Amino acid sequence: MPVLDTWAWVEYFQGSPAGARIREIVEGADVATSVLSLAELSDLYAREGRAGLAERIAFIRSRGLVLDVSQRSAEQAGATKWAQRKKGHPLGLADAIIYETARENAMDLVTGDEGFKGLPRVRFIETKPR
């Protein structure tokens, strides 16, 4: 079961070309989502004055698991964040926690967020032609 990060859900709900690729994953099997992605979506909807957050979260919950953050994932996230930044990949702390939660649960993370590039068990969705 893959974990979809916030980027993946935003693209999915926007119906972008990358979102069409995410749709295949969402419709193909159950997916997991970090509780932090729900918080990030809440922030996005509040910041941009978007309606429909409750429906979006209900949909996410209907598609699979919502993963809580463990102490282990929280403790590892700082090292992951800084290791990525040293490689030139701007990974934020919330994203590092989402990644570590996926890793702890032995799941791949699906994203197109540049900060995750090069990490093991990341299924990266390209949004730009190479």
Question: What CATH number is given to the structural domain containing 99?
Answer: 3.40.50.1010
Residue 33 domain-assigned?
yes
pLDDT at 128: 63
Residue 14 domain-assigned?
no
Residue 13 domain-assigned?
no
Cβ proximity of 109 and 3 under 8 Å:
yes
Closest by alpha carbon to 117, among 79, 93, 77, 90? 90
Q: With 90 as the cut, is the pLDDT of residue 130 above it?
A: no
Residue 103 domain-assigned?
yes
Rounded mean pLDDT of 21-49?
A: 96
Residue 4 domain-assigned?
no
Least confident window among 44-48, 90-94, 124-128: 124-128
Average pLDDT over the chain, rounded to whole?
95
Residues 6+ positions from 5 with CB-CB distance below 8 Å = 34, 37, 95, 98, 99, 109, 110, 111, 113, 116
Domain range holding 32?
A: 28-124
How many structural domains compose the chain?
1
Q: What are the pLDDT digits (tens) for 52-74?
A: 999 999 999 999 999 999 999 99
